[in-house]
Each structure stands twice: as C-alpha cells, then as structure tokens.
C-alpha cells in the first residue's frame, strides 16, 4: 500500500504541473498511470479503464480549481469566452460519462490516441495572428458540448481540445491556457458525478470505490497534484507563447503513443 501511495504521489506531481502549464487538467498523465497501476493491483479488466477515467475526473476537480484560481489572479481568464462555454461542457461531460459506460476500454484508448495525434499536428503548425474574431455564442455552445463530451469520455480536463480551438479562434496562448484551465472545473465536476452514477451498481469494483471513482487513488493524487498545478500555472506565464505551444504538442504526441500501444495490446 505504501508503494502504491508513493506511485500515486509522483504521478500527482507530474499531473499537477501539466494541469497548470498546459491547461490539460492532468488527465493525460493520470489515466494511463492509473490503468497501469490498477493492472498491477489485479483489478478486473472490465472496470480498470472506466475506474481510471472516473478517478481522473474527480482529481481534476481539485487540480483545475487550483490552476484556474492562479490564472484568475493574473487576469488571464477570458470571462467573455468562459460564460457561453460552461453550460455546454456540463451537458457534454454528463453525456460523455453515460456513453463511456457502454464502451470497451481499449476502444476508448485507441480513439483518443488518434485524436491526440491530430491535435498535436495542428498545434505544431503555424497559428494565425493572435487576437482574431471570437466565434458567436451558438458556435461556442456547440463546441462546448463536444469538448465536454470527449473530455469526459477520456478523463481529461478539456485542454487538449479547448486550447487548440481557442488558438484557432485567435486567442493568445496564455489566455487560451488560462480559460481552458477554468473550463476544466465544470467539465471534471459534471463528468466525475456522471461516472459515479453510471458505476454505482457495477459489479467487480474494488473496495473503497464510489462508482467509477477509486478513493485511495484520488486522495494520493490530489495531495501532490494540487500544489504542483499552481506551480505549473505560474510557469505558463513565464514561457514564450511559441515554445509553450510546441511543448504542448510534444506532450500530446507522447501520450498518444502510449495509448496506441496499450490500446492495441488490450484489444489483442
């Protein structure tokens, strides 16, 4: 148990830094790490992926709160973009939890890996000048439902979609990351509750599970991820925009490679 807590603590530090630095919510680190750790702990394969995703979303509630507050204090969160996005991501995140409960874990891994590769390639390309025209409220609302749905499916805070989308709309990188971090809170909260409900009567869940949320992993991760996310958010305001964007893309490619390998092994 001590070794398990140490593993979750180390993962929490890495996830927290990524949450604040890239607006990712840390799920791209926590989900693969928990899938591996739950496998070592001999949890039933039928619930491993869903348990990792649900627990990740519960952790992101904490990390996104800390990271978004840091960005808010620096005045980087774009409230005019945030308001029309929040209702859509709440609806999308709840629906994502419902859909995920019906899907096989390896299918989620493979689909998300392909998506991350697409996003990373987009982020590596040159982006149009910052300060472009913002889309209307209807387009923002529809985009929010998609972002919330896919984020909940894969246990991430939405940054892997929100940041590229806002950059495409001409939002400065620092403001895109800050707004994404703030948006991660309603996504994670709605998604985590959905996973709790969907997994409430699920068989084969390990002890100390609240639906598809594994409480020991949640506690071990948030203790270290919350303070690390604050540090990551501070670093985001010190790095050049172009360098931050390319680093963001590299992180996505690395995660995609890991998910492709593990997804294909699970399907075999």
Residue 34 has a pLDDT of 84
Tokens representing 116?
A: 């991350």
Residue 197 has a pLDDT of 93
For tokens 């540090």, the residue is 231
Residue 135 has a pLDDT of 66
For tokens 């997994």, the residue is 199
Residue 132 has a pLDDT of 52
Residues pairing with 214 in the sheet: 209
Residue 102 has a pLDDT of 82
The pTM (predicted TM-score) of the whole model is 0.78
Sign of the CA dihedral with 97 first, then 100, 106, and 111 last? negative
Residue 145 has a pLDDT of 92
Burial class (CB in 10 A: 0-12, 13-18, 19+), 35: buried
3-state secondary structure the chain: CHHHHHHHHHHHHHHHHHHHHHCCCCHHHHHHHHHHHHHHCCCCHHHHHHHHHHHHHHHHHHHHHHHHHHHHHCCCCCHHHHHHHHHHHHHHHHHHHHHHCCCCHHHHHHHHHHHHHHHHHHHHCCCCCCCCCCCCHHHHHHHHHHHHHHHHHHCCCCHHHHHHHHHHCCCCHHHHHHHHHHHHHHHHHHHHHHHHHHCCCCCCCCCCEECCEEHHHHHHHHHHHHHHHHHHHHHHCCCCHHHHHHHHHHHHHHHHHHHHHHHHHHHC
Residue 190 has a pLDDT of 93
CA 23 to chain centre: 8
For every one of its 268 residues, what pLDDT tens digit does the chain have, with 9 covering 90 and above? 677 778 788 888 877 777 677 666 567 778 877 887 888 888 888 888 889 999 999 988 887 787 778 778 777 777 878 888 899 999 999 999 898 888 776 777 777 788 778 778 877 765 544 455 566 778 888 888 999 998 888 787 777 778 878 877 777 777 787 888 888 889 999 999 999 999 988 888 988 899 999 988 898 888 887 788 778 777 777 777 667 777 778 877 887 887 787 777 766 6
């Amino acid at each position: 148990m001590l070794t398990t807590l140490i593993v979750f603590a180390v993962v929490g530090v890495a996830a927290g830094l990524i949450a604040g630095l890239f607006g990712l919510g840390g799920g791209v680190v926590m989900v693969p790490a928990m899938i591996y750790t739950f496998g070592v702990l001999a949890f039933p394969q039928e619930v491993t992926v869903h348990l990792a995703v649900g627990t990740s979303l519960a952790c992101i509630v904490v990390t996104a709160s800390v990271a978004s507050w840091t960005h808010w204090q620096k005045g980087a969160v774009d409230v005019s973009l945030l308001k029309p996005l929040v209702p859509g991501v709440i609806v999308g995140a709840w629906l994502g939890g419902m859909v995920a409960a019906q899907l096989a874990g390896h299918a989620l891994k493979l689909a998300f890996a392909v998506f991350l590769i697409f996003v990373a390639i987009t982020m590596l390309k040159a982006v149009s000048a910052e300060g472009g025209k913002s889309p209307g409220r209807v387009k923002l609302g529809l985009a929010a439902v998609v972002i919330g749905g896919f984020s909940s499916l894969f246990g991430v805070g939405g940054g892997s979609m929100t940041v590229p989308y806002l950059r495409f709309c001409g939002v400065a990188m620092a403001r895109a990351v800050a707004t994404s971090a703030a948006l991660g809170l309603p996504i994670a909260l709605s998604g985590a509750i959905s996973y709790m409900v969907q997994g409430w009567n699920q068989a084969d869940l390990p002890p100390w599970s609240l639906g598809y949320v594994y409480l020991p992993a949640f506690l071990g991760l948030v203790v270290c991820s919350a303070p690390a996310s604050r540090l990551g958010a501070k670093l985001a305001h010190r790095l050049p925009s172009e360098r931050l964007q390319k680093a963001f893309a590299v992180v996505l490619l690395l995660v995609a490679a890991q998910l492709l390998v593990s997804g294909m092994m699970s399907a075999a």
